[in-house]
Chains A and B, each alone.
Chain A
């Protein structure tokens, strides 16, 4: 057997997955809808032009809600489809570890969402044209948005391994993600802080995607936020591994 290095297999799976996105209409539908929704929310709901501020807060603020539905839609087919087609048996009987298979798939989907996110660059050009925005928060906003997308994706990938039905995977994933978003959503934390001790409110909101995303948008890279997203992703991918090992039944 030839040797192709430690990440050769991950790379091979990554490449295959990424190509399969762009070979299917799903990719283009996703990108178009993602861009349309971003434009719609930013310009029509947040009234980007009337606010008169040269920053992208009104753009980023919608990302958690857009991801909430679009990322599970991207992720739902990842394992469920392989299970349905029987290719799961093919891939898992090749000399591939479960970790390599998961990582390859996850990275491909993440890069794909990253491409969609990158295509929002006209927003940046717009604010640069309109004024002198602070560039720090914009970069951190993008980084935060990308990390958050990864966290959403890791949840979706995990639920996709749970079932052969894409619909079930989608719904499960949306529910889990909704919980993780709402835990830091102001109306929810306000209700909580009415009766719960401060530490509990903080604890609940600290588990939320939203809290860490908002803090990154201020333009400072806090190690805790970074660590939070990496932990969520690692945890979800590990659960994914366990699910996949345990559910190799026909």
Chain B
């Protein structure tokens, strides 16, 4: 378990992280969300022992970071922001170096490095110097470094930053595959990543935790949650809009736009937990409106994000 206990960090008079507490169990993938400069990286740097906290501490798998920093770091794999790698080394030597520092003997080292190179699809660049690699490969080399010792706790600072969509997908798959026996924390500002990978999300703003819930529940707090978007083939918006508004359970409805004779509407329910789609469809077909599409909104994470971070 990774446990942050009242972590705070002050840089001079500026409070970068203000009393953050949370716990991550094995099997969980925690997404750290927040605007730039919210304190995500600072929190991760404290969790990995790079930055000493001004107040509070973190306990990694039973090791207090302040009392046994080496013991705690042995259990952590860390991918720092911007994926730093020594540019003058080749991929194999770099991973071998990390394995050596991590205390593996010669034979074990060889096995692990080979295994990790395969796992991270680095076979083609094994003997290439890091400075000649593309950003995506560099990111993967640094990622490889973080999982080399098969750590129980993985802390990833923007693991998919700068990757193309295919590479992003691969990295996400890898993270999900590993999550069954690891506790993983990852920071990102890509909201779809949180939805597709994380089991839980923490939103940080101004150094404070302002939301801590599953992505589904966070989305449910969006005003669009449970709303119905539908398109109707009709000449003028007034009559169908009135029909939608008159339907049972509908609180309000808006006409969004008209496109090639197709009218877009959105209907908001009186209560988020009571479905209104069936009644709405019944009413509209009764009045002979041709519904061309209908979609129940689940809420959008970016909207929740913008609303609660106040931007």
Q: Does A97 contact B (CB under 8 A)?
A: yes
Contact check, A250 vs B80: say whether CB atoms are below 8 A apart. no
Contact check, A16 vs B89: say whether CB atoms are below 8 A apart. yes
Chain A contacts of B103 at CB under 8 A?
A: 1-4, 8-9, 95
**A195-250 at interface with B (beta carbon < 8 Å):** 245, 248-250
Q: Does A134 contact B (CB under 8 A)?
A: no
- Residue-wise, chain B 104-128 has the 8 Å CB interface mask toward A (1 for contact) of 1100100000000000000000000
Q: Does B45 contact A (CB under 8 A)?
A: yes
Residue from B52, B73, B102 within 8 A of A248 (CB atoms): B52
Interface Cβ pair total, 8 Å cutoff: 88
Residue from A4, A12, A19, A86 within 8 A of B80 (CB atoms): A86
Spot the interface stretch: B93-101, B245-253, B294-302.
B93-101
Q: Does B51 contact A (CB under 8 A)?
A: yes
In this complex, which of B52, B89, B100 has the most chain A Cβ atoms within 10 angstroms of its Cβ? B100
Q: Complex formed: what's the CA distance from A4 to B109 in Å?
A: 12
Q: Complex formed: what's the CA distance from A94 to B88 in Å?
A: 19
- Residue-wise, chain B 51-79 has the 8 Å CB interface mask toward A (1 for contact) of 11000000000000000001101101010
Contact check, B73 vs A93: say whether CB atoms are below 8 A apart. yes
Q: Complex formed: what's the CA distance from A10 to B70 in Å?
A: 15
Q: Does A119 contact B (CB under 8 A)?
A: no
Q: Does B261 contact A (CB under 8 A)?
A: no
**B27-58 at interface with A (beta carbon < 8 Å):** 41-42, 45, 48-52
A85-B86, A87-B84, A93-B80 in contact; A4/B70 too (CB < 8 A)? no
Q: Complex formed: what's the CA distance from A20 to B192 in Å?
A: 40
Size range of the interface on B? 35 or more
Chain A contacts of B70 at CB under 8 A?
A: 95-97
Chain A contacts of B71 at CB under 8 A?
A: 95
Q: Does A188 contact B (CB under 8 A)?
A: no
Q: Complex formed: what's the CA distance from A1 to B76 in Å?
A: 12
Chain A contacts of B51 at CB under 8 A?
A: 248-250
Chain A contacts of B84 at CB under 8 A?
A: 85-87, 89-90
Contact check, B87 vs A85: say whether CB atoms are below 8 A apart. yes
Chain B contacts of A8 at CB under 8 A?
A: 100, 103
**A56-95 at interface with B (beta carbon < 8 Å):** 85-87, 89-90, 92-95
Q: Does A132 contact B (CB under 8 A)?
A: no
Contact check, B101 vs A93: say whether CB atoms are below 8 A apart. no
Contact check, B76 vs A4: say whether CB atoms are below 8 A apart. no
A86-B80, A95-B74 in contact; A12/B41 too (CB < 8 A)? no
Q: Complex formed: what's the CA distance from A4 to B85 in Å?
A: 23
Residue from A4, A85, A93 within 8 A of B50 (CB atoms): A93
In this complex, which of B49, B81, B84 has the most chain A Cβ atoms within 10 angstroms of its Cβ? B84
In this complex, which of B49, B80, B103 has the most chain A Cβ atoms within 10 angstroms of its Cβ? B103
Given A1-B103, A94-B73, 17 extra CB contacts under 8 A: A2-B105, A4-B100, A4-B103, A19-B93, A23-B89, A85-B84, A85-B87, A87-B84, A89-B80, A90-B145, A95-B74, A95-B101, A97-B70, A248-B52, A249-B11, A249-B51, A250-B41
5 closest A-B pairs by beta carbon, nearest first, are A86-B84, A12-B100, A93-B48, A95-B73, A95-B74
- A residues with a Cβ closer than 8 A to B are 1-4, 8-9, 12-13, 15-16, 19-20, 23-24, 85-87, 89-90, 92-97, 245, 248-250
Between-chain CB contacts (< 8 Å), 9 pairs: A8-B100, A16-B89, A20-B89, A85-B86, A85-B87, A93-B80, A95-B101, A96-B101, A250-B42
